[in-house]
């Protein structure tokens, strides 16, 4: 199958993620959309790796996964503390730097 | 001998210090001390003069270096004096006439309780004026220049309880300031051009300096001369300066201080010789002032103001002569000296008349005074004959030479300047005859005035004209002698010419018409002027109240609208200028500053809205930014 199609898929996934980040209110869903964008990038990297015939893209994909895992830890912790303090997981409710 | 020069100045300076700081203890003797020190200065002057006469013409200049005033690397200012023939002439005139006027003031100011202070100021004036003419560099001259300005201010405003006197003093000071500015700029220009301001180096270096720079320096010097010597356009202060006591008018505003401008021009002759354009301006200023003063003098009913107009006009002659270059310098100074005699004499005579007439100055309230004041009449009359240039008297010799030199300038300019000088001579004869007739001849109008005033219930005391005391008449007699004989003494054998020639240089002018014709024309216009005045004021009775007069008469009574001109152009102009500057400041400068502040404030208000706290809007700007970067990258690649 033509590897370029994977790039189209990656672009589609990235767009869905970006739209989600912009329009959803629920912090968890926004977070998931961010993950979706990261993974769309990973897919693009791997596809490019295949297209160019070297392994650079695949290595970077690993790095991205590590960073994403770390981000999940921090991000979920923030969301949990946000929910605790405001009793809501809506990002719009957290528009102020104070409680 | 050199050491005497400093004493010339030190004597009156000591007098000023003692009299002004001495306090009331000196009230009874102060005037004698002041007169004595002035006399001492004159005596030193005579000693130096006889010493100078004993030497050859080329070796007569004396120099005395007193001390270094400002010794700085590249800037050397010394207190040093130079006594050459030109300074000597002035020293004798200043200290001689000054001493006579001191003596006169003893009588004139007898009833003034501030007489001690008056003599202190007079001594201060003498010291400053002597410093002015003895300085050997322009910076020290400037000190004297300011000193006489100060003395003039103090003496014009001596009766400061009169608002008119206080205002006149202020006016004289302010107008003089304009001229002083010219002198200070000239000195700065000299320093940048020549690196020094000592007379010797500056005047010798004029040969190899650009004409443009010399013209600038010369015009600034002319501005200074205009201020001090009351020449158009800075003439407006002299008429009002007559508010001062009459001896002051005689000494400062007729014989000496107002001639300082002529001294400055003649002393800086080398600069003017190298700047013909500036010389032309000098002659024009002289010619215009000559007519201006004469016309004003014709219309004034105040005897002192008529004489002030005459002073202005006579100094116009001197400035005109000084502007003619080497053909005129000597005659400018000669006229200056003879004018010093007869004008001081005339002013002292006017003071004597006022003394006998309850300080009345309106000539329309005089008349027929020759019977009551014979000495004043004779001395004033001799001064009168001298100033109009009656053949044989001082003014005849000196003025005739100037008219001749004006014709000798050559070309159309020569004809114009010569004709103006002749016309001035005719007007001089007219206004002086008018003064003479209104004061000493005709009916005794003061009697009638008393009758009118008592009928109207006015507070007018009928004067009892009487001759003045000896202390006043003797100086007048001496000055009358000078007025009669000085001109002849100077001219016979060209004595004055040979005396001054080593300093000022001299060229014989060649007038297009013969000297005899010029003299004939001078006498003819003199007769014409006297006859016209006699027709108007001698044959017909003089009205006690001034008639309305023609447009020119009314303008001349208002000093040819000089104050109105100054008011409209300078005062109003200044007001408009400041107002528009304030407007510009508000709209442009403040506008720019306030506008910047307002636009920064507005912009930050808009930027603040972006920071709304919603994660989503931050994300949009982030996506937008990323999209922009991607778009830009693609665009660059496509290009």
- Closest alpha carbon to B34 in B108, B118, B113, B94: B118
pLDDT for residue B458 = 67
Question: Quick one: average pLDDT of B481-504?
Answer: 89
| B614: nearest CB among A18, A21, A95 | A95
A97–B613 C-beta distance less than 8 A: yes
Both structure tokens of B395 = 């003014």
pLDDT for residue B549 = 81
- Closest alpha carbon to A95 in B619, B333, B624, B614: B614
If you measure CA to CA, which chain B residue comes closest to A93? B614
Report the number of secondary-structure helices (H) and strands (E) in chain A. 3, 0
pLDDT at B176 over 90: yes
Q: What are the chain A neighbours of B612 within 8 Å (beta carbons)? A: 95
Q: How many beta-carbon contacts under 8 Å exist across A and B?
A: 22
B623 in A contact zone (CB under 8 Å): yes
Q: How far is CA B420 from CA A99, B291, B426, B433, in A?
A: 98, 7, 10, 20
Question: Quick one: average pLDDT of A78-90?
Answer: 89
Q: Which of A28, A88, A91, A96 has the most B C-beta neighbours within 10 Å, making it the best mutation to test the interface with B?
A: A91
Q: How far is B630 from chain A (nearest CA, A)?
A: 14
A22–B614 C-beta distance less than 8 A: no
Q: How far is B614 from chain A (nearest CA, A)?
A: 5
Picking from B147-156, B289-298, B495-504, which range would have the lowest pLDDT averaged per residue? B495-504
Q: Which domains does chain A have, with CATH numbers?
A: 4-86 (1.10.287.3510)
pLDDT at A64 over 90: yes
Residue B71, C-beta contacts closer than 8 angstroms, at least 6 positions apart: B77
C-alpha–C-alpha distance, residues B112 and B248, integer Å: 14
Q: How far is CA B325 from CA B138, B319, B322, B424, B500, in A?
A: 20, 10, 6, 21, 14
Residue B268, C-beta contacts closer than 8 angstroms, at least 6 positions apart: B203, B218, B221
ipTM score for this prediction: 0.86
pLDDT band at B313 (very low <50, low <70, confident <90, very high): very high
pLDDT digits (tens, 9 = 90+) for B608-619: 888 888 888 888
pLDDT for residue B457 = 64
Residue B77, C-beta contacts closer than 8 angstroms, at least 6 positions apart: B68, B69, B70, B71, B137, B139, B140, B197
| B620: nearest CB among A22, A92, A95 | A22
Question: Quick one: average pLDDT of B63-73?
Answer: 88
pLDDT digits (tens, 9 = 90+) for B268-283: 999 999 999 999 999 9
- Closest alpha carbon to B421 in B321, B328, B490: B321
A18–B623 C-beta distance less than 8 A: yes
Contact B152, B257 (CB under 8 A): yes
- Closest alpha carbon to A33 in A17, A19, A22: A17
> Cα-flanking dihedrals φ and ψ of residue B559, to 5°?
55, 45
Contact B366, B377 (CB under 8 A): no
Question: Quick one: average pLDDT of B578-607?
Answer: 94
pLDDT at B593 over 90: yes
Q: At what angle do helices B495-504 and B470-491 cross, to 10 degrees?
A: 80
B56 secondary structure, DSSP code: -
Mean pLDDT of chain B: 90
pLDDT at B460 over 80: no
Angle (CA) B236-B240-B241 rounded to 5° is 105
């Amino acid at each position: 199958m033509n590897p370029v199609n994977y790039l189209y898929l990656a672009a589609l996934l990235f767009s869905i993620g970006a739209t989600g980040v912009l329009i959803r209110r629920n912090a968890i869903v926004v977070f998931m959309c961010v993950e979706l964008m990261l993974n769309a990038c990973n897919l693009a990297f791997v596809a490019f790796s295949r297209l160019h015939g070297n392994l650079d893209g695949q290595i970077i994909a690993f790095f991205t996964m590590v960073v994403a895992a770390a981000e999940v830890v921090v991000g979920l912790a923030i969301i949990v503390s946000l929910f605790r303090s405001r009793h809501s997981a809506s990002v719009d409710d957290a528009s102020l730097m104070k409680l | 001998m050199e050491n005497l020069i400093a004493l010339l100045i030190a004597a009156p300076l000591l007098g000023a210090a003692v009299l002004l700081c001495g306090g009331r203890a000196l009230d009874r003797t102060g005037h004698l001390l002041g007169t004595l020190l002035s006399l001492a200065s004159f005596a030193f002057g005579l000693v130096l003069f006889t010493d100078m006469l004993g030497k050859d013409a080329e070796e007569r200049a004396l120099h005395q270096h007193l001390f270094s005033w400002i010794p700085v690397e590249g800037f050397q200012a010394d207190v040093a004096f130079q006594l050459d023939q030109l300074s000597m002439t002035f020293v004798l005139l200043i200290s001689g006439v000054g001493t006579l006027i001191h003596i006169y003031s003893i009588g004139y100011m007898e009833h003034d309780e501030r007489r001690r202070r008056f003599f202190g100021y007079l001594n201060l004036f003498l010291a400053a004026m002597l410093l002015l003419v003895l300085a050997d560099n322009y910076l020290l001259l400037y000190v004297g220049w300011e000193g006489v300005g100060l003395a003039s201010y103090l003496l014009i405003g001596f009766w400061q309880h009169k608002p008119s006197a206080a205002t006149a003093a202020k006016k004289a000071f302010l107008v003089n300031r304009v001229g002083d500015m010219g002198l200070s700029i000239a000195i700065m220009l000299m320093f940048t051009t020549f690196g020094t301001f000592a007379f010797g180096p500056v005047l010798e270096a004029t040969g190899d300096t650009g004409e443009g720079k010399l013209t600038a320096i010369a015009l600034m010097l002319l501005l200074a001369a205009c201020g001090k010597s009351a020449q158009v356009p800075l003439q407006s202060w002299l008429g009002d300066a007559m508010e001062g006591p009459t001896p002051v008018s005689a000494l400062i505003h007729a014989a000496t201080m107002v001639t300082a401008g002529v001294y400055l021009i003649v002393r800086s002759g080398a600069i003017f010789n190298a700047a013909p354009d500036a010389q032309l301006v000098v002659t024009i200023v002289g010619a215009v002032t000559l007519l201006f003063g004469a016309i004003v003098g014709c219309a004034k009913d105040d005897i002192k103001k008529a004489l002030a107009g005459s002073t202005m006009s006579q100094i116009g002659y001197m400035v005109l002569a000084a502007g003619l270059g080497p053909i005129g310098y000597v005659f400018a100074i000669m006229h200056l000296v003879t004018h010093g005699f007869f004008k001081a004499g005339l002013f002292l005579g006017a003071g004597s008349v006022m003394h006998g007439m309850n300080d009345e100055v309106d000539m329309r309230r005089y008349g027929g005074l020759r019977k009551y004041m014979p000495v004043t009449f004779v001395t004033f009359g001799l001064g009168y004959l001298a100033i109009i240039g009656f053949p044989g008297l001082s003014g005849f010799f000196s003025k005739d030479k100037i008219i001749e030199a004006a014709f000798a300038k050559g070309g159309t300019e020569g004809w114009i300047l010569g004709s103006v000088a002749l016309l001035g001579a005719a007007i001089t004869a007219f206004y002086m005859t008018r003064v003479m007739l209104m004061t000493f001849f005709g009916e005794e109008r003061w009697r009638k005035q008393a009758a009118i005033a008592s009928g109207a219930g006015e507070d007018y005391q009928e004067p009892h004209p009487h001759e003045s005391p000896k202390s006043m008449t003797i100086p007048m007699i001496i000055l009358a002698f000078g007025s009669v004989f000085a001109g002849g003494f100077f001219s016979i054998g060209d004595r004055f010419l040979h005396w001054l020639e080593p300093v000022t240089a001299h060229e014989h002018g060649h007038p297009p018409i013969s000297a005899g014709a010029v003299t004939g024309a001078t006498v003819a216009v003199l007769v014409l002027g006297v006859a016209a005045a006699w027709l108007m004021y001698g044959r017909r009775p003089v009205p006690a109240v001034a008639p309305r007069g023609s447009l020119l008469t009314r303008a001349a009574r208002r000093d040819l609208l000089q104050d109105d001109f100054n008011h409209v152009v300078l005062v109003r102009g200044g007001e408009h200028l400041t107002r528009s500057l304030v407007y510009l400041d508000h709209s442009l400068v403040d506008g720019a500053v306030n506008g910047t502040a307002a636009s920064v404030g507005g912009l930050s208000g808009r930027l603040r809205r972006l920071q709304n706290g919603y994660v989503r809007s931050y994300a949009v700007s982030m996506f937008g930014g990323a999209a922009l970067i991607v778009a830009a990258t693609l665009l660059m690649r496509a290009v």
